[in-house]
């Protein structure tokens, strides 16, 4: 009888096989036309036994629902975007979410500037007719009131954007100060947030964006709330994480 350690090792090997197969499907989907939604598909039995049952070279076949014990994965193109989809035994198609992560490698600073500008690193590419959720963790510092920082996001023309943030209230004098929350609608609409001089503090952001017929970026913008000669900084290791859900 296999030990627990051997069973875990076997599961890990099966997971690696599955990940390699999914990577292979994604790579092929970028280079070859898909004549049918199931033009390239794999059946996944017990999350490890992988069987390719269709191929790009085959004539289009009528898709059938997989057995209850099998998860069928295939590449599907919607609105010129190709992604991996799961077909369940009841015929329901489930798109595997796409995750995009942007991280600041280094500090970025500005001073004597109240005009919103694009962050150098924190942006995500969006295609047409997509729905995304996103969150961000910003570590900031700078001159206290009235210098502070203001934040905004821009999105492609025609998109619907709503996001919320939580950070220190304007009157806070330490990281133990009270928090302030706000909800912002629309591309380029800004909100003021508080910074502490020579003290790093966090800002937390969550939001949704629905694109229309124009592709482009979900782009963080920022500037000083009021012009000040001291640096306002978004520090390295701040990040933006977006997930496409439809």
pLDDT of residue 21: 63
pLDDT of residue 58: 42
Per-residue pLDDT of the chain (246 residues; tens, 9 = 90+): 556 676 667 666 766 666 666 666 555 544 443 444 444 555 555 444 444 444 333 444 445 666 666 666 666 665 455 566 776 667 776 667 778 999 999 999 999 999 999 999 999 999 898 899 999 999 999 998 888 899 999 999 999 999 999 998 887 888 887 888 999 999 999 999 999 988 999 999 999 999 999 999 999 999 999 999 999 999 999 999 999 887
Sign of CA dihedral 80, 86, 87, 93: negative
Can you give the pTM of this predicted structure?
Answer: 0.68
Domains of the chain: 4-96 (no CATH), 99-244 (2.60.120)
Strands 93-95 and 108-110: unpaired
Backbone angles phi, psi at 164, to 5 degrees: -130, 155
219 contacts 146 by C-beta, under 8 angstroms? no
Which value, to the nearest 10 degrees, does the dihedral of the CA atoms of residues 96, 131, 166, 183 take?
Answer: -160
């Amino acid at each position: 009888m296999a030990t627990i350690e051997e069973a875990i090792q076997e599961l890990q090997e099966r997971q690696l096989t599955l990940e390699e197969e999914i990577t292979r499907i994604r790579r092929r989907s970028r280079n070859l036309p898909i004549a049918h939604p199931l033009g390239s598909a794999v059946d996944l039995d017990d999350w490890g036994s992988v069987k390719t049952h269709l191929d790009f070279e085959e004539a289009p076949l009528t898709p059938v629902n997989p057995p209850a014990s099998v998860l069928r994965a295939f590449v599907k193109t919607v609105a010129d975007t190709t992604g991996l989809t799961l077909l369940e035994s009841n015929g329901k198609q489930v798109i595997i979410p796409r995750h995009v992560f942007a991280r600041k490698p280094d500090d970025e600073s500005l001073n004597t500037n109240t005009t919103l500008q694009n962050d150098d690193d924190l942006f995500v590419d969006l295609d047409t007719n997509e729905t995304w959720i996103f969150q961000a963790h910003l570590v900031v510092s700078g001159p206290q009131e009235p210098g502070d920082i203001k934040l905004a996001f821009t999105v492609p023309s025609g998109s619907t954007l709503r996001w919320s943030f939580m950070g220190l209230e304007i009157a806070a004098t330490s990281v133990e100060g009270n928090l302030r929350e706000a909800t912002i609608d629309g591309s380029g609409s800004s909100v003021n947030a508080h910074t502490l001089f020579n003290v790093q503090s966090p800002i937390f952001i969550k939001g949704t964006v629905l694109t229309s017929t124009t592709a482009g970026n979900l782009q963080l913008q920022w500037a000083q709330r009021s012009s000040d000669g001291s640096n306002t900084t978004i520090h390295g290791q701040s990040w933006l994480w977006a997930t496409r859900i439809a």
